[in-house]
Structure 1
Amino acid sequence: MTEERFTAALAALSRPSGGSESLTEPILGIIPVTGASVSTIGELLGMESVEASDAIIRRIDELQFDMSEGPCWDAVERGEPILEPDFRHRPRGMWPRFSEGVRVHDVGALFAVPVSLGTLRVGAIDLYHRDPIELDDEAIRRLLIFGGVIGRRVLRRALESTPDAADEVSGGGRHSRYRIHQAAGFVIAQLGVTADDALLLLQARAFSTGSSMEEIAEQILEKRLTFSVTGAVIEDRT
């Protein structure tokens, strides 16, 4: 039954929803914690709390952004789960300012996993529980899968306000389409993503910089722009 619920949760997160469906409710239906949030970190999508299930997890996100430290930062930097099963009594992380801010809240355990697209990490899922709690290997595996599915949803949400961006791949001249797909091939090689995800990343970069996809494609093909796995965008203007 649990596996069926997990499959249903993945299906809910994978559906095109026009931005109306929750990102955190499917997670909380599977992972036994009190609250969850989804945030973006890095140059591609900026730093933002995309969704938080309650006021405490929203405050946890705010503290991490303000202090530039905490489990979400480590999850993005390391590309692995950050587990604090007894944060209240036996914290493992070295986050002095963040930890001091969280202690005033009813937080017994903290967890974070990367939100990713292939090897590109664009944010994190943060979770907390009121009491100390251990997550088993299966729960962690499911969280990592959630992170991959949510990575695509977050990118698509960012592009919803610019529907014309998607038309640039199929529209325009033959040369323009060829250059965009050629640049997508570079991104596939850099990050190990699918062709569809590579095009999604080109759209996201074009959206965030106010550029056309053809302009972004030329920057990539001229090796003036690359993506790092931590979500940073590296530009070489020399």
Structure 2
Amino acid sequence: MSAERYGELVALLRADNSDPAARLRRVCGLCVEVCAVTGGAITVQGGDDGTAQAVACATDAISLVLDNLQRTVGEGPGPAAHERGGPALVGDLATAEARWPGFTPGARAAGVAAVFSFPLRLGAVRLGTLDLYRTSVGSLNRGELRDALALADIAAHTVLDDLRSPDPMDIGWLSDIHAVVHQATGVVTAQLDVTMRDALLLIRAHAYAHQTPLDQVSQQIISKRLRLETGE
């Protein structure tokens, strides 16, 4: 990545400097423009396992479907990029059935043919992911990959700077829009005497088995309409 190209991308985002949320939305939009992708989202994640997370911005409904699917099954390009600390790039999603058996069928059913996820990472600090997709098969070319990496870096600095500010934007674990999932995880932890991680796995397994969004299963648990067992 040349300093000149990085500067060009920063210049395209300069109008949104004063508003972190707007800047992140513009990063997503710019990815669509310069990386020849169909859509994208930025997810902010807390903790090394990424279980506390929220969508900061998304360009379209399919990006939100992909986020919900990844949270439900606990796998996919976003979790892979977050865990590895490096990009997860799949130019033909049909080849990822064995790698992500829970994620791939649902993503393909939504019309997604290729996925590209980049970690928002500054040193050892993991902040989330930039998740892009295409409705047609095809890998990112060298220039598109370069720009996506640069935009992920810009997004990471934007999130970190905002978290350090006295009035951070309403994203991520600061006021988690998926708080119902974490509340349900606590309920299952207490009921079954398991770890938080195992409780979340049980909730995800039930959601996947019953083809129900993770948030809906969590609400059923909280309202005592559903009680999981260790054999779920």
Fold shared per TM-score above 0.5: yes
Structure showing greater Rg: 1
| TM-score normalised by structure 1 residue count | 0.60
Q: Residue 159 and residue 36 in structure 1: after superposition, are their counterparts in 2 closer, same or farther (change >3 A)?
A: same
Find out whether 1:20 has 2:25 as its counterpart.
no
Partners of 1:5 and 1:30 within 8 A in 2 = no
Stretch deviating more after TM superposition (141-150 or 30-39): 141-150
Contiguous gaps of at least 5 residues in structure 2: 176-232
Find out whether 1:33 has 2:34 as its counterpart.
no
The residue that corresponds to 1:50 in the other structure is 56
Instruction: Specify the SS of the correspondent of 1:128.
Output: strand
Partners of 1:109 and 1:130 within 8 A in 2 = yes
The one-letter code sitting in structure 1 at the alignment partner of 2:9 is A
Partners of 2:121 and 2:156 within 8 A in 1 = yes
Q: Distance in 2 between matches of 1:62 and 1:7?
A: 34
Aligned-pair CA distance for 1:146: 1.4
Q: Distance in 2 between matches of 1:7 and 1:27?
A: 15
Q: Residue 78 and residue 92 in structure 1: after superposition, are their counterparts in 2 closer, same or farther (change >3 A)?
A: farther
Q: Distance in 1 between matches of 2:13 and 2:155?
A: 7
Q: Distance in 2 between matches of 1:139 and 1:112?
A: 13
Q: Residue 103 and residue 148 in structure 1: after superposition, are their counterparts in 2 closer, same or farther (change >3 A)?
A: same
Find out whether 1:116 has 2:121 as its counterpart.
yes
Partners of 2:86 and 2:119 within 8 A in 1 = yes
Q: Distance in 2 between matches of 1:7 and 1:58?
A: 30
How high is the sequence identity, in percent, across the aligned residues? 29
Q: Residue 114 and residue 120 in structure 1: after superposition, are their counterparts in 2 closer, same or farther (change >3 A)?
A: same
The one-letter code sitting in structure 2 at the alignment partner of 1:138 is G
Instruction: Specify the SS of the correspondent of 1:76.
Output: helix
| TM-score normalised by structure 2 residue count | 0.61
Q: How many residues align?
A: 164
The residue that corresponds to 1:225 in the other structure is none
Q: Distance in 1 between matches of 2:119 and 2:10?
A: 16
Partners of 2:6 and 2:150 within 8 A in 1 = no
The residue that corresponds to 2:225 in the other structure is none
The residue that corresponds to 2:79 in the other structure is 73
The residue that corresponds to 2:131 in the other structure is 126
The one-letter code sitting in structure 1 at the alignment partner of 2:103 is F
From 137, 140, 159, the counterpart of 1:154? 159
Q: Distance in 2 between matches of 1:103 and 1:141?
A: 26
Give the CA RMSD over aligned residues. 2.9
The residue that corresponds to 1:10 in the other structure is 10
Partners of 1:84 and 1:92 within 8 A in 2 = no
The one-letter code sitting in structure 2 at the alignment partner of 1:35 is G
Matched ranges for 1:1-238 at <5 A: 7-13=7-13, 16-18=17-19, 19-21=21-23, 22=25, 23-43=27-47, 46-87=52-93, 89-91=94-96, 94-158=99-163, 162-163=166-167
Deviations 1:98-122 (A, max 9, x none): 1122121111111111112234221
Aligned-pair CA distance for 1:55: 0.3
Q: Residue 111 and residue 147 in structure 1: after superposition, are their counterparts in 2 closer, same or farther (change >3 A)?
A: same
Q: Residue 119 and residue 29 in structure 1: after superposition, are their counterparts in 2 closer, same or farther (change >3 A)?
A: farther
